Homo-oligomer: A and B are copies of this chain.
Amino acid sequence: MKSNLSGANYIAGSPSTLASDYFFGHNATTGEPMETRFAEATSDEIHAAVFAASQAPTLSPAQRADLLDAIADELEAIGEDLTELAGLETALPAGRLNGERGRTTGQLRLFASSLRDGLAQEEIVDGALPDRQPAPRPEIRRRLIPVGPVAVFGASNFPLAFSVAGGDTASALAAGCPVVVKAHPLHPGTSELAAQAIYRAMERTGTDPRWFSLLHGSVQVGTHLVNHPVVRAVAFTGSHRAGRALFDLANRRPQPIPVFAEMGSINPLFLLPGALAERGDALATGYVESLLMGVGQFCTNPGVVIGIDSPEFTAFQAAVAERLDSAPIGTMLSAGIAANYNQTVDRLNGAVTRLTNREEAQAPRLFATTAKAFAEHDELREECFGPAAIAVTAADVDELLAVVAALDGQLTGSIHLAESDAAITGGLATELGRKVGRLVFNGFPTGVEVGHAMQHGGPYPATTDSRFTSVGTQAIYRFLRPIAIQNAPSELDLPF
């Protein structure tokens, strides 16, 4: 690898070396520590990063667009080094990581082009009515302005697309908010390479480096960052436990701030009788592919598949189990994540029927249960992060709807149907729609599109704020707030 890693925190462009605590990244496949020693950010460094962000000069939408394009260019310019290092740190395969880099640069460039097209710059104007009785109406112009410095938490499972230069950073910068990233400790080297790319892009575009800082560390660093009075919003993708902890912290501040935590879900997938009869085997193939994608470490992994009791649904389950038993066993993102997965499937082993045969650590699993048991036992409705799923058999349509009623909020819900399922579809889709951020028909939820219409979010506990998305151009609205400007002198030029 040609790239140089310093292991330092980067504060407004400069490496900072106040640390007394250090940690190492690990080779996710071998478990061995890697070469570079990374510095845990101190409280002084956290303060310096946030304070610098609060002092960053305003950027126009055009300047932000140029910066985002330049970051995309610089991420590409790193070449193979970036995906090789990410591969070592995460055990994700090269094809997946190249795709993820494409997604990352694609979303940076989508924000850039959308800003040039006027994204989030629309104004609402109530014109002056000087002759209105009993009192004249002044002109009021409503526009959106940046909320201020944003703290972004890198996610373990997307070392590029939901990390240092990922969607949260892209949307915050697009909104005009300076960013302080807390790198995920499972890929600190990849994080540093991305941060270096951001600074090169800033240098090339003449952007003040106070617009970005990178901090390494663990829970204490994150806590300190969320509690810093100058931070104005938090973006996070990860576990429910960590997301809720950040949400609670932020709400207990003297001045509470919004936390946009995307915390995953079980993404129920409904197979209607007509669809199973028409294409049960193809559904099994598609389902297994979706379930195994990224070793099941996707927020939209379809962890629950539901059908009505029938020979076709039984055959579907058998086909899925057989394919899972012969699939290659992937390497998970870290030993800790693998251990969690193994514990969860062991617990499910005791609670429900297992349809797969393999018992090796990290092997895919399919379990089976009834709609009644699924509705009654909370632990069956909790996310299992990894390639395991539960097949839920409903006795009839009423039980299918009872499964929906038992669901918590979800990122996605999917329905596979055929024309003959028309009598069931409307009612099911309506009830399922009330629980999810994205409703998928005849498709699998993994492979989230980055576009204008995407909603990657959903009612709690899928996220802490169902009114916003963390993927796609609408993600910019997380970091903007309206201001009404009344009767402004025409010559006044406000920078926001």
Contacts and interface: CB of A to CB of B under 8 A. Distances in A.
Interface of A: 123-126, 135, 137-138, 140-142, 145, 147-148, 247-248, 251, 255-256, 258, 408-409, 417, 422, 425-426, 429-430, 433-434, 436-443, 447, 449, 451-455, 457, 459-461, 464-467, 469, 474, 477, 480-489, 491-496
B126 A452 contact: yes
A445 to B, nearest CB: 8
B482 A474 contact: yes
A464 B256 contact: yes
A474 B124 contact: yes
A422 B493 CA distance: 11
A142 B456 CA distance: 11
A480 B453 contact: no
Scoring A142, A442, A495 by chain B CB atoms within 10 A of each residue's CB, the highest score goes to: A142
B480 A467 contact: yes
Contacts of A487: 440-443
List the 3 shortest-distance A-B pairs measured between CB atoms, nearest first: A455-B484, A142-B453, A126-B451
Given A425-B489, A467-B480, 9 more contacts: A126-B454, A135-B447, A137-B449, A142-B453, A145-B433, A438-B485, A441-B489, A455-B483, A469-B482
Given A247-B251, A256-B247, A465-B258, A454 B494 contact: no
Scoring A409, A434, A443, A482 by chain B CB atoms within 10 A of each residue's CB, the highest score goes to: A482
Contacts of A429: 488, 492, 494
Contact of A488 (B436, B441, B492): B441
A425 B492 contact: yes
Contacts of A457: 481-482
Nearest to A137: B449
A439 B126 contact: no
Contacts of A488: 429, 439, 441
Scoring A123, A484, A492 by chain B CB atoms within 10 A of each residue's CB, the highest score goes to: A484
Contacts of A422: 491
A435 to B, nearest CB: 10
Scoring A137, A140, A496 by chain B CB atoms within 10 A of each residue's CB, the highest score goes to: A140
Nearest to A480: B467
A146 to B, nearest CB: 9
Given A124-B452, A453-B484, A147 B466 contact: yes
Contacts of A248: 251
A441 B486 contact: yes
30 contacts: A124-B452, A126-B449, A126-B451, A126-B452, A126-B453, A138-B443, A140-B451, A142-B452, A142-B453, A147-B466, A247-B251, A248-B251, A255-B460, A258-B465, A426-B493, A429-B488, A429-B494, A430-B495, A430-B496, A433-B483, A433-B496, A438-B484, A438-B486, A439-B486, A441-B487, A441-B492, A453-B484, A455-B484, A467-B482, A469-B482
A246 to B, nearest CB: 12
B483 A142 contact: no
A232 B322 CA distance: 43
Given A137-B449, A453-B124, A483 B440 contact: no
Contact of A486 (B247, B408, B443, B477): B443
A443 B434 CA distance: 45
Contacts of A148: 434
